[in-house]
Structure 1
Amino acid sequence: MKKFVSALLTAAMMAGLFFQPVETVQAEKNENKVLTIAHRGASGYAPENTMAAFEKSVDMKADLFEIDVQMSKDGEIVVIHDTTVDRTTNGSGKVKKLTLEELRSLDAGSWFREEFAGEKIPTLSEVLDKYRGKSGILIEIKSPSLYPGIEKKIAEELKEHNLHKPHNEKIIVQSFNHDSVQTFHSILPSVPVGVLIGYNEAGISSEEMNEFSSYAEYVNPSKKMVDEDLVDRIHDHDMEIHPWTVRDRKSADALLDAGVDGIITDYPDYIE
């Protein structure tokens, strides 16, 4: 009888090892999922930083889309990458020298393809209004030194949209300006932040890694810097890594092999 009971216990233990509940398996699968982050929206298929690009990102089932934010002359947070409007609109001039009304009068789509004529420069508020609950959003603060107080304004927008608390969708704020990231973090610590890293042949030092881990949840470097060792070091500091910017399938595959947590790409369909 004892041998029979022992055999049953052994079988039960083996079953526990090899037959996990469906919920556990699904949870582990979700935890290991590599996030697809559409760079400036699905900017390979629609004009960057426009509602058309964000809509395409959602249609292509990207987990998040990335946006760049700056501030108009009259203090509105607007979504545009360059510090001037020259490249992506039919206008000219510095973003900070133009009012929201002047920025909104510009065509931000025709430069990409004529079918996008009439696309406007969105405000952060409009993007949050439309895509809250539909997509995660990675917000990059561009050139914050030009816009004193922009971190506080972004925090206020997130609070107004009730996006300063944990939700199913992800909201992340990042910048190449790490002082700006820390300023935002001090204002709204409930929203996770990331540090963007431009290509540096020397890599990221241990001192830098320790400093980043004191306030940031993400280290997002140029894809040219990424290998398994860097990924492991970032993970060892309890942070995640979302490299940028992928524009070909070969680069996407190499980053997936390195074990990254997410990939920032112009082409969301390249991440499989």
Structure 2
Amino acid sequence: MVYVFAHRGSSGTCPENTLSAYKEAVEGGSDGIEIDVQYTKDNELVVIHDNTVNRTTNGKGLVKDYTLKELKMLDAGCWFSEQFALERIPTIEEVLAFVKEKEGLLLNIELKNVVIHHEGIEERVIKLVRDYSLSNRVIFSSFNHISLHRISKLAPEIECAVITLDKQFKPWDYLASVGAAGWHPQWSKIDQHIINEMKKRNHPVRVYTINKVDQMEAFLTNDIEAIMTDYPGKAVQIRNEIRRTRGGE
């Protein structure tokens, strides 16, 4: 079975990286959710994708220039729809507590430490994941592969996954050099040969971001670990239809 991960929650139907988006993803049958984590001015860990609050809140400026209290005053939902007015930026602990209550739900934590360096973020997220006893349900990913290598040394029991934007030559060799097990490639930058070789070597491949129906149908019938999508409910529905068809129902 190909898993369905909700990219920033059910971000096609709810404001991204909000508790509403995560709840809808779970209600729609998602196997996992993907979130983005970075520091506030007062060194708290919050869940938001961009380095600024401009696009997904009614505020302006860099996330790192806001304290947690100031970020919590921003509206993180009205930009998407008035239905979600007063939605707030969650902390990572709020998300971990949510996941903890959902038996079997997986969590992909992407560290947003490429453009802006967040000193010590690896140690902080590892400690929190361990505090919530979620090491076996969490995947750490990042475009910052130095950060992933650090995590692989600090927490070998937690899977690390390299995110890439371009085509890769023998990605299994590169994963070994980083200390990562998983690979998260952009969907258009992979081919079947690479997928097959990764499968032989037991490296999970989770492809992003799959939003069109034909793409969902193609990748949900492929031999990969998971797809990441803004429309997890739709992807789960398509996966169920594929199962029924294959089962002759």
Same fold (TM over 0.5): yes
Aligned to 1:192: 159
Superposition CA RMSD, Å: 1.3
Structure 1 stretches of 5 or more lacking a match?
1-32
1:237 to 198, 201, 206: 201
How big is the shift at 1:128?
A: 0.6
How big is the shift at 1:227?
A: 2.4
Question: Is the 8 Å Cα contact of residues 79 and 121 (structure 1) preserved in structure 2?
Answer: yes
Query: What is the letter of the counterpart of residue 216 of structure 1?
Result: A
2:40 to 72, 77, 80: 72
Aligned to 1:137: 107
Structure 2 stretches of 5 or more lacking a match?
240-249
Q: Which has the larger radius of gyration?
A: 1
How big is the shift at 1:133?
A: 4.1
Question: Is the 8 Å Cα contact of residues 18 and 88 (structure 2) preserved in structure 1?
Answer: yes
Aligned to 1:209: 172
Question: Is the 8 Å Cα contact of residues 227 and 258 (structure 1) preserved in structure 2?
Answer: no
- For the residue of structure 1 that corresponds to 2:46, the secondary structure is strand
How big is the shift at 1:236?
A: 2.5
Query: What is the letter of the counterpart of residue 124 of structure 2?
Result: K
Aligned to 1:180: 147
- For the residue of structure 2 that corresponds to 1:75, the secondary structure is coil
Deviations 1:67-96 (A, max 9, x none): 000000111110000000000000011011
Deviations 1:245-266 (A, max 9, x none): 0111111122234422100000
Question: Is the 8 Å Cα contact of residues 57 and 75 (structure 2) preserved in structure 1?
Answer: yes
2:85 counterpart of 1:117: yes
Question: Is the 8 Å Cα contact of residues 75 and 87 (structure 2) preserved in structure 1?
Answer: yes
| TM-score, length basis structure 1 | 0.82
Aligned to 1:149: 120
Deviations 1:10-57 (A, max 9, x none): xxxxxxxxxxxxxxxxxxxxxxx1100000001011000000000001
Query: What is the letter of the counterpart of residue 146 of structure 1?
Result: H
1:89 to 42, 57, 65: 57
How big is the shift at 1:241?
A: 0.5
Question: Is the 8 Å Cα contact of residues 41 and 54 (structure 1) preserved in structure 2?
Answer: yes
Distance (Å, rounded) in 2 between the aligned partners of 1:127 and 1:69: 11
Distance (Å, rounded) in 2 between the aligned partners of 1:209 and 1:141: 22
2:35 counterpart of 1:35: no
Aligned to 2:243: none
Percent of residue pairs bearing the same amino acid type: 37
Query: What is the letter of the counterpart of residue 211 of structure 2?
Result: R
